[in-house]
Structure 1
Amino acid sequence: MPMLHKMTFGLALLAGLGLAAATPAIAQQVEPNREGLASAALVSGDTSAAIEMLRSQLRQHPNDPAVMINLGIALAQTGSEAEARVLFENALTSRDVIELDTADGRTTNSRKLARLAINMLETGEFRPLPAVNQQLTLSEQ
C-alpha cells in the first residue's frame, strides 16, 4: 500500500501550468530540505545548479517522488527528455505518494503531478521556445 505524506509543493510555474519545485513542510520521515529540492535554482532558471543539487538529493533519497519530479523538470528543460521521462515514471509508480498543496491553492499528489509532467513532456511544453532569427538580410527588389 502506498505511503501518503503531506508536503507543501511550492511552484516555479513552468509554462503557466504550475509544475515545479517542491518545498517540504510536514513529513513522517526525513525528507530533503528546501535547498535540497533546488527550489530557488529552479525558480531562477539555474538548471545546471538544480540538476547538481537534485542528483545529490536523489542519491540520498532514491525513492522520493518530489526529488524525482524536480530533477525530471530540470532535465527536461535542458533537453534530456529520455532521462526526465524515466524520473517522472518512477515518481508515478513510487511506493511513496506525497500529498501536495500547489501555489495556486490546489491539492494534488505526486502521482498526479508526475502524470502531468509526462503529458507536458509529450506535448513539448518543457522545450525552450526557438530563438527568433534576428539577422537582418538585404533583399533585392
Structure 2
Amino acid sequence: MMITLTLAASLFAQAAAPIVVTEEKGVQEVAYEELAVGEDRRAIEIIEANESLDADDPARLINLGIAHARIGDEAAARELFRSAANSDQRMELETATGEWEDSRMLAKIALRKLDNGEFSRQFAASR
C-alpha cells in the first residue's frame, strides 16, 4: 500500500539540491522549514523530538539524513538513507517539480548525492 506525502526536491541535472520532505496538512512534522533555510541542527532536534513519527518512516529518515549530511556526519546520513531505501514502509512522494517518486528511489538518489559530495548548505531546498 502506497502512502502519499509531499516531497520537495530539486533534482536538476546540473544542480545537486537536497531532497527534503515538506509539511502538509495531515503530514507529521519533518522539519521542512528548518532544512529549507539551513537550520540543520534544529531540524534534527525537531524530527527526533516528534514521537508521532515511526522510527522507520521514510520521510523522517530522509530528512534526518539530509540534516546529518549537511553538518558533516556522513556516516549517520548514509545509515539513514540506507534505512529509508530498505524500509518496509514504502511511500509515494511528490517532488517540487510535481513528479511522484517512490521513497526508496529517492533514498537511493540521496545516497548517490552523498557519495558525490553534493549535500551542501549552498543548495537550498525548494517547494
TM-score, scaled to structure 1: 0.74
Q: How does 1:75-114 map to 2 (within 5 A)?
A: 75-114=68-107
Partner Cα distance (2:6, 2:38) in 1: 21
* Residue 46 of structure 2 corresponds to residue 53 of structure 1: yes
Partner Cα distance (1:120, 1:8) in 2: 20
Cα 1:73–1:4 shift into 2, 3 Å: same
- The letter for the 1-side match of 2:50 is Q
1:29-50 alpha-carbon deviations (Å, 9 max, x no partner): xx52xxx210100001111111
Partner Cα distance (1:40, 1:69) in 2: 15
- The letter for the 2-side match of 1:38 is A
Please identify the structure whose Cα radius of gyration is greater.
1
Matched residue SS, 1:118: helix
* Larger RCO: 1 or 2 (CA < 8 Å, sep 6+): 2
Matched residue SS, 1:10: strand
TM-score, scaled to structure 2: 0.81
Gap runs ≥5 in structure 1: 130-141
More helix by share: 1
Residue equivalent to 2:7: 9
Q: How does 1:58-77 map to 2 (within 5 A)?
A: 60-77=53-70
Q: How many residues align?
A: 120
Superposed structure 1 runs of 4+ greater than 6 Å apart: none
* Residue 36 of structure 2 corresponds to residue 43 of structure 1: yes
What do you get for the CA RMSD once the two structures are aligned? 2.5
Gap runs ≥5 in structure 2: 123-127
- Report deviation, 1:76: 0.2
1:46-76 alpha-carbon deviations (Å, 9 max, x no partner): 1111111122237842120000000000000
Is 2:16–2:113's contact at 8 Å kept on the other side of the alignment?
no
Matched residue SS, 1:9: strand
Partner Cα distance (2:73, 2:89) in 1: 25
Matched residue SS, 2:85: helix
- The letter for the 2-side match of 1:21 is V
